[in-house]
Amino acid sequence: MKYNISFHPTTKSNLDSVDFNNIPFGKIFSDHMFVADYYDGEWRDLRIVPFGPITMSPANLTLHYGQAMFEGMKAFKNQEGAPVLFRPEMHAKRLNASGARLCMPELPEDLFLQALHELIGVDHAWIPTNSNSSLYVRPFMFATEEIIGVRPSSSYKFIIFTAPVGPYYDKPLKLIAANKYVRAVPGGVGEAKAAGNYAAGLLPTQEAHDGGFDQIMWTDNRDYQQIQECGTMNIFFIIGDTVVTPETNGAILKGITRNTLIHLLRDKGIKVEERAITIKELVAAHHAGTLKDAFGAGTAAVIAPVNEISYYENKDDANYKTIKLPTIESRDISISLKKELQEIRTGLRPDPHGWVHDVKVRDVATV
């Protein structure tokens, strides 16, 4: 279905004020955003407008009960300088899976994809071309009904805005295994990209930073031994000749980068296991000399190498022990994996799975 999306261009672009050689992550925003409102059971008022503030009532349900969720994805330029998106249909599906868990209305996938293409087509000049840079795309939805009462809202707003970004992490990560806090449990909202998931992680992450670590390695709520995620990323380990990543059991986000890496690894004939993995297994592999690599994987970071993992042998321990992993330079699989993914996304190598979607450029000046 083709939707009628109105376009209201900005009167003054901020593009010329951006130093694309020095882009902080998440602080600079492109000229336009897509907005849609849901009320009376339908998505209405579809529009691309100048990026800017939104107003809301103090009684907005989101502010009190947290009915809010988001997606995170990226746009790139290929070797001809044309804008492209990577697996956008997967993000559309995950957005609706998150919304279903939070009792929010479905956004038609074809509307999501059309809005995404039209917005990127308008702001294509904001896509950086430097290595490890991209245009970060943030679709999100939140409740807008003005009422105090614990129930699903009857109205919502959906917005997509974009931001040119550089690398999320600029060095290998030092992790500390959680032994007091948990990110999520099966049956909760760990699989959803619910805003509240990230709020719940702020205190543990701050405590990790205060202790000299870069991120939390999340564990289960039973004995804090079963590994789940790494900060806001999925986590992978290479043990012997096998890549191991925790299975998505309801507590772990079904990462699109995770899914992509698993496909690429299996395409190479590398064995991948999606299963439970514990700290004890990790320590045993380290002692045996078979723990070759650990890395986080996510949209923002792509692949983030881990060089240290500190852990507690049991949850009552006062002191932690530390595993030091092999040098980054020796990690052939994850290095080649990141390079392959980046080259597929930017057209430097073939895209056998059809993951890359071309975006039609829209000339703002002639609209």
DSSP per-residue codes, 297-337: EETTTEEEEEEEEEE-SSTT-SS-EEEEPPPGGG-HHHHHH
Span 202-232, pLDDT tens digits: 999 999 999 999 999 999 988 999 999 999 9
Structure tokens at 295: 């890395």
Residues in CB range of 96: below 8 A, 6 or more apart: 106, 107, 109
Fold classified for 6-167+348-366: D-amino Acid Aminotransferase; Chain A, domain 1 (3.30.470)
Element (H, E) at 344: helix 332-345
Report the alpha-carbon distance of residue 305 to residue 294 in Å, rounded.
6
Identify the residue whose tokens are 């909760």.
188
Return the number of other C-beta atoms located less than 10 Å from residue 231's C-beta.
23
Span 226-261, pLDDT tens digits: 999 999 999 999 999 999 999 999 999 999 999 999
CA 280 to mean position of chain CA atoms: 28
Identify the residue whose tokens are 């995404």.
116
Report the alpha-carbon distance of residue 236 to residue 295 in Å, rounded.
5
**pTM of the entire predicted model:** 0.95
User: What residue ranges do the domains of the chain occupy?
Assistant: 6-167+348-366, 173-330
SS3 state of residue 47: strand
Report the alpha-carbon distance of residue 54 to residue 19 in Å, rounded.
27
CATH number attached to the domain at 173-330 = 3.20.10.10
CA 186 to mean position of chain CA atoms: 20
Span 89-148, pLDDT tens digits: 999 999 999 999 999 999 999 999 999 999 999 999 999 998 889 999 999 999 999 999
